[in-house]
Structure 1
Amino acid sequence: MLSSLHVKNLALIQEAEVEFGPGLNILTGETGAGKSILIGSINLALGKKLSREMIREGETSALVELVFDTENPKVEEALKAMEIESMNGQVLIVRKITGGRSISKINGETCTAAQVRQIASILLDIHGQHEHQSLLYPDRQLDILDAYGKEELEPVLARVKEAFRKWKELQNSLKEYELDEDARMREISFLEFEIREITDAQLKEGEDEALEQSYRKMVNSRKILEALSAVRALTGEGGQSAGEQVSRAVREMAQIAGLDGTLQQMQDSLLTVDDLLSDFNREIAGYMDEFSFSEEEYFETEKRLDEINRLKTKYGDSIAAIYRYREEKQERLEKMQNFEEQKAKLRREEEQARAILEECSSELSLLRQKYADRLSAGIEEGLRDLNFLHVAFEIRFGRALQYTEHGYDTVEFQISTNPGEPLRNLAKVVSGGELSRIMLAIKTILADRDETETLIFDEIDTGISGRTAQMVSEKMARIGRRHQVLCITHLPQIAAMADRHFEIRKDVENQDTVTRIHVLDEEKSVLELARMLGGAKITDSVIANAKEMKELAQVQKNTRLK
């Protein structure tokens, strides 16, 4: 659940920290107090587009922090996939806005907006006016149906997705065979040329490296020989060379080495130096003797290297890569040479894959229709509870022109709200207030199946009052038994059901307007209900009504709504 919200320098909020509880959290306040800012700040933390105007006047930055306590294993899996450290069931989402730019973090790790949205989709579900409108979209309606029958539909839907993937792969492979005969012959000719060019080169693994080493020696031969000659003159025998000087030193040392043990050790060391120097000079002599090549050898090496590098430029950056390229082209050539046979084989495989997809999609469709009947009945019952007394609701099925990874079904939610009226598309019948009640009825039905721990409702009470408002409050309380619910409302019937009641108030401090958020105890909650009931003038009788409303709500929650 969303355990706390910290907001700093956002719109009218200077700084606010709110600790939410389980069950039904109700937020109330006068019009213009900043109730929408609170939901807006949550949306902002979860990646909503920002503007410079969101930062409080006179400030340069704003901050929103959300702390969630969760036991949902999907959250842990998502964090692990993002390589973000877990915090023992806690998730901290932070967004800091500075000068129109922002940084988002999850558990202290900088992350992308997409990662925040991914985590948020598991942690909470926000329902505002825009979300209610999404109920009008066919894709969203299909999602609702699939969520309702999730336990039985999910494994079948997984098979449909896999069947669709295989079918699309085969379809894409078939597109490669959409060639006329002239184009096919041209491709065969080109493939044969490339394969022959690589084969004729007779490349050997490691050949390029050996040639490059030899070529470097040849190119630098003069420099190498001159340097080695100079080294040999300095270290070899004769004249004042190091070899001659060490030999003289050995002879001198031999005359005194037997006189003392230390002198003998020094003589041994000197002999080692003499041996090393002799070995070194023999190595130089051998290298120089072998270091001879003809002009023809030089040009042949250069020509071979040029050929290998040309092939690398065309076919791959190494000899191994060039041969891999040849293998790929050989496979393609065989396909082109056996064009009709391969095409027929692929077509048979594609038809088989499509038959499997059709079978899986048909199975999925039948299951969906079974759950559609149950969902329709549940929505009808829920809507009657919300004062749609003569409602009829139906989910109608159609078939899409093309397969998708979700099968071939299209669905349309249809409703009739008055006796004798035909069922019509949801969008053509309901108002905004009615739409929000339909969404509430759906959410109530899905409450047992929905793994999302936190549900946020904004403007759920649009266009309702009286008995309908009471029914909405009971639905909200029922959802609150299984989920944490945050609800902004202006209706006292809904506010009376609160497990935790917050007042959002706008104050003027030092000629500055600020929004404050206060958690209300029992007495203050009654006074806030009285304000919502009686407006500006709160009399004793209004307070008594508010107290009675609160008490009745608690009785309902403890008995009928359990």
Structure 2
Amino acid sequence: TLTGDAATEGGAVDRIDAAARRLEALAGVDAALAPLAERLRGAAVELLDAARDLERYADAVEVDPGRLAALEERLALLERLRRKYGRDEEALFATRDRIAAELANATNSEERLRALAQEEAALRAALAADAAALSQGRRAAAETLAREVEASLARLDLPNARLEVALEPVTAADAMPCAATGAEHVELRFSANAGEPPRALRRVASGGELSRVFLALKNALRSAERGAVLVFDEVDAGIGGRAADRVGALLAELGARHQVLCITHWPQIAAAASTQLRVVKRTQAGRTVTRVERLDAEARVEELARMAGGTRVGDATREHARELLRGAARSRRSSRSATPPPGR
């Protein structure tokens, strides 16, 4: 403090005054200290005057303990809000605005419910329109798909095969206009023989028939998307030699638009490929190692001859293999000339 109180040894004024008296006493010994003593005496007078002015100011200030407590409580509340809802003032205001909007919605709940009901009705109407458009498109596409698949199946030695794309209506839950898959369930039905009605494909088709139906489906959809990667794992299962020729030709047609990978044991199908790979197993350092080898022209002849003739490979089987490759090359050239270039 400036003037001191009962709890202290003296304020700044008292200490400067004491220092001034000491310098005055010393000035009797050294006259050079007299000006310093005078300056301290003047400083003590100025400080005393300032202390009295401050006391008068303090006496005039009205202290409100209740107001002070309220401010401290508000500061504490702001600190708690900051820790809970955000690190800065902007985050606090954003939270306040969000809560205010939620309260407003709760206050206007009836109006909000009416608006939601109108929005739901509009969405249901739009969903019903979309479901109807989907059903119409499905009916048109089903006829086209069945016709194209049956044509491919005839090429694959199934001349009497029939494919039907059945559209069975489904019951939607909660009075919805349609289910998640639309207004109907799609099922493929198949018959391989004349006079037999089509039934569920997954139940009546044999392994060989399933392989050819799958290939026919891929062929019918080949123009839907260019550049797809199609993998056929032993699509020749359960078929004969004549059907294998046709499967190979159809795979080659697919290869004109897509990347086709086919695992086969038929030389007719392997010959239709533009590139042939051979998977071999060997024992190396006491372990079985599987390798994939790309075959050159001569190796293809040997491999196709082995596939056709078994372990006994002679000149006749090699010539047969060469003829398979020549025929496949002619088919690929014909397929390329009939396939439109990309973008057309």
Structure 2 counterpart of 1:305, which letter? L
Are the structure 2 counterparts of residues 304 and 463 from structure 1 closer, same or farther at C-alpha, using a change threshold of 3 Å? same
* Residue of structure 2 in register with 1:327 after alignment: 101
Give the superposition deviation at 1:528: 0.1
1:498 alignment counterpart: 273
Extract unaligned runs of 5+ from structure 2.
1-10, 20-49, 87-91, 173-177, 338-344
Tell me the TM-score normalised to structure 2 length: 0.70
> Match for residue 367 of structure 1?
137
- Residues 164 and 188 of structure 2 are in contact (CA less than 8 Å); yes or no, is this contact kept in structure 1? yes
Q: Give matches, 1:468-479, under 5 Å.
A: 468-479=243-254
Contact kept in structure 2, 1:465 and 1:491, CA below 8 Å: no
Task: Report Cα offsets for 1:176-218 as digits up to 9, x if no partner.
Answer: xxxxxxxxxxxxxxxxxxxxxxxxxxxxxxxxxxxxxxxxxxx
Q: TM-score, normalised by structure 1?
A: 0.45
Structure 2 CA distance for partners of 1:294 and 1:517, relative to 1, 3 Å: same
Does residue 352 of structure 1 match 2:126? Answer: no
Q: Which of 206, 209, 223 is equivalent to 1:434? A: 209
Could you say which residue in structure 1 is the equivalent of 2:71?
301
Query: Residue 445 in 1 paired to residue 220 in 2?
Result: yes
Of residues 364, 388, 401, the one that matches 2:171 is: 401
Are the structure 2 counterparts of residues 306 and 412 from structure 1 closer, same or farther at C-alpha, using a change threshold of 3 Å? Answer: same
- Which SS does the other structure have where 1:411 is aligned? strand
Change (3 A) 1:343 1:295: closer
Give, in whole Å, the separation in 2 of the partners of 1:377 and 1:306. Answer: 79
Q: Which is greater in Rg?
A: 2
The CA deviation string for residues 279-337 of structure 1, in whole angstroms up to 9 with x for no partner, is xxx9xxx9xx9999665444222333355567x49x955255234312321221111xx
Alignment of 1:552 with 2:322, yes or no, is no
Q: For the residues of structure 2 that align with 1:455 and 1:359, how far apart are their CA atoms?
A: 35
Contact 1:316 1:325 in 2 (8 A): no
Name the CA shift for 1:326/1:489 in 2 (closer, same or farther; >3 Å): same
**Larger RCO: 1 or 2 (CA < 8 Å, sep 6+):** 1
Distance 2:18 2:100 in 1: 62
* AA partner of residue 555 (structure 1): R
- Does residue 462 of the first structure (1) align with residue 237 of the second (2)? yes
| Alignment RMSD (CA, Å) | 3.4
Closer, same or farther: CA 459–238 of 1 in aligned 2, 3 Å:
farther
Instruction: Give the conservation status (yes or no) of the 8 Å contact 2:161–2:190.
Output: yes
| Residue pairs, 1:475-486, within 5 angstroms | 475-486=250-261
Secondary structure of 2:239 counterpart: coil
| Among candidates 529, 533, 542, match of residue 308 of structure 2 | 533
Equivalent of residue 389 in structure 1, options 151, 159, 169? 159
Find the counterpart in structure 1 of residue 40 from structure 2. Answer: none
Which letter does structure 2 place at the counterpart of 1:374?
T
1:455 CA displacement: 2.3
Q: Could you tell me how far 1:427 is from its partner in structure 2?
A: 1.2
Match of 2:44 in 1: none
Task: State the SS of the aligned residue for 2:170.
Answer: strand
CA deviations 1:418-465 (Å, max 9, x no partner) are: 111111111111123322221111111222222344322222222222
1:472, CA displacement in angstroms? 0.7
**CA displacement 1:46-67 (0-9 Å, x = unmatched):** xxxxxxxxxxxxxxxxxxxxxx
**One-letter amino acid of the counterpart of residue 170, structure 2:** A
User: Identity percentage over the alignment?
Assistant: 34
User: 1:423: which partner in 2?
Assistant: 198
C-alpha displacement at 1:481, in angstroms? 1.0
2:283 corresponding residue in structure 1: 508
Instruction: State the number of aligned residues.
Output: 279
1:520 matched residue in structure 2: 295
Q: Going by fraction, where is strand more abundant, 1 or 2? A: 1
C-alpha displacement of 1:558: 2.5
Measure the CA separation in 1 of the matches of 2:62 and 2:296. 100
